[in-house]
Structure 1
């Protein structure tokens, strides 16, 4: 078979590796390289790194809708997508059996950030759905699903790692039946659809008007990057770790009630202790190290006002 694989993050790599070892992959399609850091060094996606290491041709269109002939030239029999990051035009979807490994239990959380939404919303179970691709976002017929538990300590990174292995297992279990045409084909229940659109920068700000569990879930959904953001006097502080505090408080949401050995902040139903931060223009550090001698935060200040 002529297989084209489309994906970008590390979530996609186990599935790509399985396909390449088992069937051979003719072409990898991934997002354009990024420039990172002050020096503007080029960073390849995890999928591109795997492809280069295994001598698989790589195609990186800036806009797939306008640049796709390279894919058609392969004459694909099978296209498999796993968190690629662009809408794929019908001319590509219609050229082969086109499948997607989506990181949620569809029809819940269609869109580009299903893992983040599952953690933020406090879900305890999620999974991967193997599905046929359709022009409407994540709306194609389902083939099979696999579930996994979301633990209280899971972040987007750790949960994505678990889902990456589930995606590979789904391919191992189901792809042969898809190729033979003997697989299930299950319509999605449109009445159960929900969406998980890509996270916007303004959605990175932690809201202390929420209860403590919800704030911690929100932070977990943003880790390891971009992390949570809080503001004091228009200065951004990034948050990388927090926990519930058992201190009984009487204060306004967002109010700092301790700026000594701990940074404790009021929430809607109690307080949280912020334990790892990145002050503006500084490195990530333990909050206890930052509080020694700093003049930015003081007891009684209120975040995000």
Structure 2
């Protein structure tokens, strides 16, 4: 059985690691990001891949920065036949890419060459795409530019958000990799160069992408909300305070109010004017300094003074 070094960090990567273990591959090491402080209390927390690797009894390597590190030399010294990455979070240096005899392959959550980069799931939802998928590709020095080995498509549903798509694409990636590794071992796999004329990018989400522009229409804002749910979460401002918008739905209401204006209040939601005479219902939010809550709880809370005519910035 071939030897593998697996490199991944978030929950997306866990089913893929588990599959490799269940298939009996010789996993020499699991490489993941260092433990990080999480939450308001800044509790040092291991990444999901480390938790799974420990559960499986696999050795774990956690470089703060791979390039030029002692950990890099440790990985190279393992001389794996194949390196598999899935949302690892760092670029692999060339000397590592050149180490395994079968190459380095990546499980990427988009239909390459579309959405190269670190946030393909977020960005495809923000852009209102109707489909996405997973690509198994050979890794190259250039970001997500290696030859395509295999792909699987997924239709995006209206209620999908980033969290749901992470889960769906993780399973698709697991199954696709399971089918793809044997041909790689046998040397019978496809190797299709990417069409550079069709390249697009999905860089890590910047803070300014999280701020809602109410001048956009309701479809654009809904796509932004679901593309940033459940992390990092879209936000707006009310009376100079940040308000996170966790979930919303498009409204059938038409209006002639300024975008951002509260135009209706129901017991279960409130409706905000968006661009082009459209509107959106806010269902789930988090006022500044408070916990996440439903619009129902927000509207009946003693601290809420929201009225028709109030305007989000």
Which of 52, 56, 59 is 1:50 aligned to?
Answer: 52
Consecutive unaligned residues in structure 2, runs of 5 or more: none
Match of 2:254 in 1: 248
Match of 1:38 in 2: 40
Cα deviation digits, residues 74-124 of structure 1 (max 9, x gap) = 111110000111111001101011000110000000000111111111111
Q: CA deviation at 1:236?
A: 0.5
Q: CA deviation at 1:296?
A: 5.5
Cα deviation digits, residues 50-85 of structure 1 (max 9, x gap) = 100011111111111122112112111110000111
Residue 118 of structure 1 aligns to a residue in which SS? helix
Paired residues of 1:2 and 1:74 also in contact (CA < 8 A) = no
Cα deviation digits, residues 143-179 of structure 1 (max 9, x gap) = 0101111100011111111111111111121111111
Residue 147 of structure 1 aligns to a residue in which SS? strand
Consecutive unaligned residues in structure 1, runs of 5 or more: none
Match of 2:295 in 1: 287
1:99 aligns with 2:101: no
Distance 2:305 2:235 in 1: 15
Match of 1:21 in 2: 22
Distance 1:39 1:158 in 2: 27
Paired residues of 1:241 and 1:276 also in contact (CA < 8 A) = yes
Residues 188-199 of structure 1 mapped to structure 2, 5 A cutoff:
188-199=194-205
Cα RMSD of the aligned pairs, angstroms, is 1.4
Distance 1:191 1:229 in 2: 34
Match of 1:177 in 2: 183
Match of 2:271 in 1: 264
Paired residues of 2:298 and 2:304 also in contact (CA < 8 A) = no
Residue 108 of structure 1 aligns to a residue in which SS? coil
Residue 275 of structure 2 aligns to a residue in which SS? coil
Match of 1:88 in 2: 92
Match of 1:154 in 2: 160
Match of 1:77 in 2: 81
Distance 1:135 1:99 in 2: 12
Which of 180, 203, 207 is 1:201 aligned to?
Answer: 207
Distance 2:132 2:287 in 1: 33
Residue 203 of structure 1 aligns to a residue in which SS? helix
Range 35-44 or range 196-205, more displaced:
35-44
Residue 160 of structure 1 aligns to a residue in which SS? helix
Range 184-193 or range 164-173, more displaced:
164-173
Q: CA deviation at 1:297?
A: 3.6
Distance 2:118 2:78 in 1: 27
TM-score, normalised with respect to structure 2: 0.93
Distance 1:69 1:83 in 2: 21
Which of 134, 138, 162 is 1:132 aligned to?
Answer: 138
